[in-house]
Structure 1
Amino acid sequence: MKNKISELARLNHMHEALGHIMQFTNGLTYEEYSQDFKLRLALLKLLEIVGEAARFIGDDTRLKFSDIEWETLYVVRNILVHEYFGVDYAIIWRAIQEKVPTLHEKPSVIIQQTDNQGYSVD
């Protein structure tokens, strides 16, 4: 089933998940974030989605858009999934504040710049 999802769909999944992360954390302080267990779990799941989608982005796209740390996104996903009790929520918060806003627009830029050549929505 994983390979049947198109690259376009995966880029859209990344964009949507990153958008939700920004929406959920907009205006929040670290203290509010750290005290909201449900929010922290939701954010972890959204980061997992980003990493899983990044894993299946093809080599051509990865090379063309090498400013995105594709492998890092998947490594983070693996850490979140397999080391769930060892997650450092301060690091997650910092990544959300520092990395997500810039990363958020990149999937849609990729889609626009490639003119959807070879992409199909599944």
Structure 2
Amino acid sequence: MPCNGKTFDDYLADAMLRSAVERQFEIIGEALNNLSKVDPELAALVPDLARIVAFRNILIHGYASVDDALVWQVLAEKRPRLEEHLRQLLAGLS
């Protein structure tokens, strides 16, 4: 499944792209982990928060064993729903 005009083969062929995607997932996971400490009630509204933080931990601590297919799957299939949900939460806060 293409994502932002890129295919999985494009992703595999581009080390900088893989690094950038992994870094962004690390940032998202860290931000949501911090949210869970600062505002647990709001964090509870984020679907799969614990899994997102766990994914971040895998990326941070398991560079040698990062599964590129899993990262791509999360990017292509899970991220769009998470992004939409977070946009809705943010809109409700303002």
What's the counterpart of residue 7 of structure 2? 29
Structure 1: stretches of 5+ with no match in the other structure: 1-24, 116-122
C-alpha separation between the residues in 1 aligned to 2:90 and 2:20?
26
Output the amino acid matched with 2:41. D
Matched, 1:103 2:82: yes
TM-score, normalised via structure 1 length: 0.68
- Measured in 2, the distance between the counterparts of 1:114 and 1:36 equals 38
Count of matched residue pairs: 89
Q: Could you say which structure has the larger radius of gyration?
A: 1
Identity %: 31
Tell me the alpha carbon deviations over residues 23-78 of structure 1, each in whole angstroms, 9 at most, x when there is no partner.
Answer: xx401111111000000000000000000001011211123x15x11111111111
What RMSD over aligned residues (CA atoms) do the two structures have, in Å? 1.2
Aligned partner of 2:40 in structure 1 is: 59
Larger fraction in helix: 2
Indicate the SS of the match to 2:5: coil
Q: Does 1:78 align with 2:57?
A: yes
TM-score (norm 2): 0.87
Tell me the residue number matched to 2:69: 90
Deviates more, 1:106-115 or 1:30-39: 106-115
**Equivalent in the alignment of 2:93:** 114
CA contact (8 A) 2:32 2:43 kept: no
